[in-house]
C-alpha cells in the first residue's frame, strides 16, 4: 500500500464525527491541520488543501489534506492529495499552492529532503516540487524538484526556502517563495517559468526591512483595487506598540509593483489580524473577480485544544478583501449569508449594567452589535458563558481600544489570554460583527477595517451571550444562527 493510500484508509476509518467539530469552519477529517494550501478554483469548484498529519493530533510528517466546495461554506472532504513518499519530499510535503492548467490542476509545494552526514548530523533541505492531477488524484512529475534551492543566489538559505505561491500572467507562470538572506532576515523570492518544469530566478520581491521578522513563511502576491499586496507570515517578529505582536504573525505589504525590477515598492505595512490565532493566509480570485483569503486559525506558540479532543486545527472563514482609501477591508464571504437562519433584530436598544437578551445565545452565531450612541466608558460583549466560563471583547471608548480576554474560557495552560487593539479610524459609532462557531470567534470591526480572530475550547454548554455596559449604550443588534443543513434554494444564491 502506498503512503497516500494508507493515509486515506486511516482517514476513512478514524474520521471524527461532525458533531464534535465547528459547523462552518474547515477542519481535517482526523488528526492535525495547519496552513491552507492550494486554495484555488479548478473546473468551477473551490479547492482547499492543507498541511495535514492524519495519524495524530500533533504536527508530524506533512501530507496535503483536501476539501472542495461550491460556495466557501459547505465543504466536502476528499482523499489526501499528497504524501511524503519520495527522496526529495520524504521529510514532508510542506505548504504550497495550486493553479488550473491545460494539463490539469497543478500543485506546487515544498519538498523537504532529509539528509544525514557521515558524522550523524541531520539536515533538511527545501526545494519546490510539482504534482499534476484531475482534482482528486495527483502525480508528482519526474522533473522534481522543479525549483531547486540551487537556483537561488548562493548566500540565501537552502534549508529555509518554502511555501511557493503560483500565478500566471499572459503566458508566463510566476512563483513567490519564502526565503532567508545571509543575515537570516526574511524575504520573498520570485521565479518565472513558461512550462512549470523549468524555472528561472528573478529577484527578491520584498524583504523584512530589518524589522518584519526572520524567516518569511507562506507569501502570497496579488493585485487589488489598483495596488499590489504581498501577504507574508514572518517568524520571530517583535511587537511594535499595538500594531504587531511578538512571535509568528501575518502582515500585508501594500504598494506598487515595479515590474522592470520585479520589486514591490511598499507604501504601508499592516497587521492582517489582531487576534491570537491567525496565520499563513492564502488567497484566490473567484470567477466573479473577488479576492478571497483564508488562514489557519491557530498559533504555533499556543496549542490549547483539550487533550481528549481528537482533531486539532481549523481554518478561518474565507474573507473577501477590498482596498478602499488605503485600508484593507476583510469581510466574511457573502455566501455565508445564505446559511443564516432565525434572525433577531433590536433597534436603538438601551443597554445598561449586565443585560441578556431573549433569543441571543448559542455557540454558532453571526452577531452584529452596532454602538450608535450613549453615555458610557466601557462596553463588553461576553460569550461562551455560564457560571464557570466566559470570553469577552471589551471596548474602551476614550482609549479607542478593543481588548479580548479568554482567561476564563476553560484553559489549563499558561498561555496568552489577553490582547488589545487600537481601533483604526475610530468614529462616533462602532460596529462589531462576531462570527462564533463553537470554538472560535472572528471579530470584524467597522465593516472589516480590522479583524480579531481567536480560539477558545470552552465546554459547549457555556452558551450565554451577555452585553455589559458601565453607563448606558444605545445599540442596534442583528443576530442569526448559522445552519448548514438548510435546504438549498437556487434562487437565493
Ligand atoms: C507555516 C509553516 C510553513 C511550512 C509548514 C509546515 O505554518 O511552517 O512554512 O511549509 O508550516 O507544516
pLDDT at 241: 87
Nearest atom in ligand 1 to 233's CA: 1
User: For residue 34, how far is its CA from the centre of ligand 1 (angstroms)?
Assistant: 7
Give the 3-state secondary structure of residue 57: coil
Q: What is the pLDDT along the chain (493 residues), one digit of tens a residue?
A: 999 999 999 999 999 999 999 999 999 999 999 999 999 999 999 999 999 999 999 999 999 999 999 999 999 999 999 999 999 999 999 999 999 999 999 999 999 999 998 999 999 999 999 999 999 999 999 999 999 999 999 999 999 999 999 999 999 999 999 999 999 999 999 999 999 999 999 999 999 999 999 999 999 999 999 999 999 999 999 998 889 999 999 999 999 999 999 999 999 999 999 999 999 999 999 999 999 999 999 999 998 999 999 999 999 999 999 999 999 999 999 999 999 999 999 999 999 999 999 999 999 999 999 999 999 999 999 999 999 999 999 999 999 999 999 999 999 999 999 999 999 988 889 999 999 999 999 999 999 999 999 999 999 999 999 999 999 999 999 999 999 986 554 444 3
Nearest atom in ligand 1 to 59's CA: 12
Gap between the Cα atoms of 330 and 322, Å rounded:
7
Gap between the Cα atoms of 89 and 119, Å rounded:
23
Gap between the Cα atoms of 229 and 221, Å rounded:
6
Burial of residue 115 (CB within 10 Å: 0-12, 13-18, 19+) is exposed
User: For residue 36, how far is its CA from the centre of ligand 1 (angstroms)?
Assistant: 10
The per-residue b/e assignment along 28-63, b for 16 or more CB within 10 angstroms, e otherwise, is bbbbbbbbbbbbbbbeeebbbbbbbbbbebebebbb
CB 253, CB 269: distance < 8 Å: yes
The strands making up 311-312's β-sheet, listed across from edge to edge, are 75-82, 63-69, 45-53, 31-42, 311-312
pLDDT at 487: 56
pLDDT at 425: 85
pLDDT at 491: 45
Task: List, chain by chain if needed, residues with CB within 6 Å of any ligand 1 atom.
Answer: 34-35, 51, 62, 94-95, 110, 162-163, 217-218, 279-280
Pocket test for ligand 1, best of 280, 281, 313 (most atoms within 8 A of CB): 280
User: For residue 218, how far is its CA from the centre of ligand 1 (angstroms)?
Assistant: 7
The per-residue b/e assignment along 384-398, b for 16 or more CB within 10 angstroms, e otherwise, is bbeeebbbbbbbebe
Nearest atom in ligand 1 to 96's CA: 10
Nearest atom in ligand 1 to 248's CA: 7
Backbone angles phi, psi at 236, to 5 degrees: 50, 50
User: For residue 490, how far is its CA from the centre of ligand 1 (angstroms)?
Assistant: 38
Pocket test for ligand 1, best of 162, 186, 297 (most atoms within 8 A of CB): 162
The active-site residue out of 35, 220, 273, 366 is 35
The residue assigned the cell 523570492 is: 189
Nearest atom in ligand 1 to 62's CA: 12
Q: C-alpha distances in angstroms, 176 versus 84, 148, 290, 365, 487? A: 22, 13, 21, 37, 41
Catalytic site residue 35? yes
Q: 0.75 exceeded by the pTM? A: yes
CB 313, CB 304: distance < 8 Å: no
pLDDT at 485: 83
Pocket test for ligand 1, best of 218, 219, 278, 298 (most atoms within 8 A of CB): 218
- Residue 402's nearest CA partner among 433, 371, 378 is 378
**Nearest protein CA to atom 6 of ligand 1, as residue:** 94
User: For residue 216, how far is its CA from the centre of ligand 1 (angstroms)?
Assistant: 10
Gap between the Cα atoms of 94 and 52, Å rounded:
9
pLDDT at 426: 80
User: For residue 217, how far is its CA from the centre of ligand 1 (angstroms)?
Assistant: 7
User: For residue 106, how far is its CA from the centre of ligand 1 (angstroms)?
Assistant: 20
Amino acid at each position: 500500500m502506498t503512503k497516500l493510500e494508507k493515509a486515506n484508509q486511516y482517514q476513512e476509518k478514524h474520521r471524527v464525527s461532525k458533531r464534535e467539530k465547528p459547523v462552518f469552519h474547515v477542519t481535517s477529517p482526523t488528526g492535525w491541520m495547519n496552513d491552507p494550501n492550494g486554495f484555488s478554483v479548478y473546473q468551477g469548484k473551490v479547492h482547499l488543501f492543507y498541511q495535514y498529519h492524519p495519524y495524530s493530533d500533533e504536527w508530524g510528517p506533512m501530507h496535503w489534506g483536501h476539501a472542495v466546495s461550491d460556495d466557501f461554506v459547505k465543504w466536502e472532504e476528499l482523499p489526501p492529495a499528497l504524501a511524503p513518499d519520495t527522496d526529495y519530499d520524504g521529510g514532508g510535503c510542506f505548504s504550497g499552492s495550486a493553479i488550473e492548467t491545460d494539463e490539469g490542476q497543478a500543485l506546487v509545494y515544498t519538498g523537504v529532503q532529509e539528509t544525514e552526514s557521515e558524522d550523524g548530523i541531520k539536515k533538511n533541505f527545501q526545494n519546490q516540487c510539482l504534482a499534476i492531477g484531475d482534482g482528486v488524484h495527483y502525480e508528482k512529475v519526474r522533473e522534481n524538484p522543479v525549483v531547486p534551492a540551487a537556483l537561488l543566489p548562493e548566500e540565501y538559505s537552502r534549508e529555509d526556502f518554502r511555501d511557493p505561491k503560483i500565478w500566471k500572467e499572459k503566458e508566463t507562470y510566476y512563483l513567490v517563495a519564502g526565503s532567508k538572506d545571509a543575515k537570516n532576515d526574511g524575504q520573498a523570492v520570485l521565479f518565472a517559468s513558461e512550462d512549470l518544469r523549468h524555472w528561472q530566478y528573478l529577484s527578491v520581491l520584498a524583504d523584512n526591512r530589518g524589522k518584519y521578522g526572520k524567516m518569511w513563511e507562506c507569501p502570497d502576491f496579488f493585485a487589488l483595487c489598483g495596488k499590489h499586496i504581498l501577504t507574508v507570515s514572518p517568524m520571530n517578529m517583535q511587537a511594535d506598540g499595538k500594531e504587531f505582536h511578538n512571535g509568528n504573525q501575518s502582515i500585508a505589504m501594500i504598494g506598487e509593483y515595479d515590474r522592470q525590477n520585479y520589486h514591490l515598492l511598499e507604501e504601508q505595512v499592516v497587521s492582517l489580524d489582531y487576534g491570537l490565532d491567525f496565520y499563513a493566509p492564502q488567497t484566490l480570485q473567484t470567477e466573479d473577480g473577488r479576492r478571497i483569503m483564508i488562514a489557519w486559525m491557530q498559533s504555533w506558540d499556543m496549542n490549547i485544544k483539550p487533550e481528549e479532543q481528537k482533531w486539532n486545527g481549523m481554518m478561518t472563514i474565507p474573507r473577501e478583501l477590498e482596498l478602499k482609501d488605503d485600508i484593507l477591508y476583510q469581510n466574511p464571504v457573502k455566501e455565508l449569508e445564505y446559511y443564516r437562519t432565525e434572525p433577531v433584530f433590536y433597534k436603538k436598544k438601551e443597554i445598561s449594567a449586565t443585560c441578556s437578551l431573549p433569543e441571543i445565545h448559542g455557540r454558532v452565531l453571526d452577531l452584529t452589535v452596532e454602538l450608535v450612541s450613549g453615555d458610557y466608558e466601557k462596553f463588553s460583549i461576553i460569550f461562551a458563558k455560564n457560571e464557570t466560563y466566559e470570553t469577552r471583547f471589551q471596548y474602551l471608548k476614550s482609549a479607542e481600544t478593543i481588548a479580548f480576554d479568554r482567561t476564563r474560557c476553560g484553559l489549563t495552560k499558561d498561555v496568552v489570554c489577553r490582547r488589545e487593539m487600537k481601533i483604526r479610524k475610530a468614529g462616533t459609532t462602532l460596529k462589531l460583527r462576531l462570527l462564533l462557531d463553537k470554538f472560535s470567534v472572528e471579530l470584524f470591526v467597522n465593516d472589516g477595517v480590522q479583524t480579531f480572530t481567536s480560539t477558545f475550547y470552552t465546554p459547549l454548554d457555556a452558551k450565554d451571550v451577555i452585553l455589559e455596559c458601565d453607563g448606558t449604550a444605545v445599540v442596534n443588534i442583528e443576530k442569526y444562527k448559522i445552519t448548514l443543513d438548510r435546504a438549498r434554494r437556487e434562487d437565493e444564491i
